[in-house]
Amino acid sequence: MVRLATKDDKANPPSYRKHGDERPRSTVTFKEDGFKHDPKNNRVRLSKGSNLKEHFSDFLLCEYRIRPDVDLSEVNKVQNVRAVWSGDEWELHFVCKVSLETNDSAGDEVAGIDLGIKNIATVAFPDEYVLYPGNSLKQDKHYF
C-alpha cells in the first residue's frame, strides 16, 4: 500500500514562497566582481548578473545612508555587499575588511586554540581549558 504525504499543520519548515506571494525572502550577496563601491558619493553599483543583463552595462545604482557610528572611509576593502529584505525595504549590508590596533598583551601566559568539527574551538590554558560546542550550529545547518 502506498501512503501519500499529508499536510502537517504542526510542521514549521523554513519559509518558502507560497503561490502568488511576491514578497522577497532571500538575501542577495554580491561578491567582489558583482559590485563597484564609491564611498565618496555613498553609492554602490550592483551587477544584475549575466543571466539578467540585456546589455554589458546593465546594473543597479544604489545610494545609501550609513549610521552615524560607521565610517566607511576607514575600511581597507569591501569584501561583499548583501541586499537584505527587512520586511519594509531593502537594506545594504557591507562586509568589510578592517585593520584593528591591538593592545599589549595582558601577561606572559600562553593559550592554544584548536578549531574543530565537534567543538568549534577548544582553548587550552596551562591550568584549564574551555570548550565552545558546535552542536546547535550543526543542528541548524542540518535542518536548513
pLDDT tens for each residue of 86-141: 878 888 888 887 777 777 666 677 777 777 766 677 778 778 878 777 776 667 66
Name the domain count of the chain: 2
| Half-sphere exposure of residue 13: CA atoms within 13 angstroms, side-chain side | 6
The pLDDT, as a whole number, for residue 16 is 57
For the chain, the average pLDDT equals 75
Same domain, 138 and 85: no
Determine the residue type at 81.
V
Determine the residue type at 71.
D
**How many angstroms separate the CA atoms of 17 and 25, rounded?**
8
Bridge partners of 130, per DSSP, are 123
Same domain, 84 and 41: yes
Same domain, 80 and 126: no
Same domain, 83 and 53: yes
The pLDDT, as a whole number, for residue 39 is 82
Same domain, 76 and 116: no
Domain containing 130 equals 112-143
Same domain, 33 and 86: yes
Cβ within 8 Å of residue 130, ≥6 positions away: 122, 123
Same domain, 32 and 74: yes
**How many angstroms separate the CA atoms of 3 and 35, rounded?**
50
The pLDDT, as a whole number, for residue 120 is 74
Band of the pLDDT at 19, cuts 50, 70, 90?
low
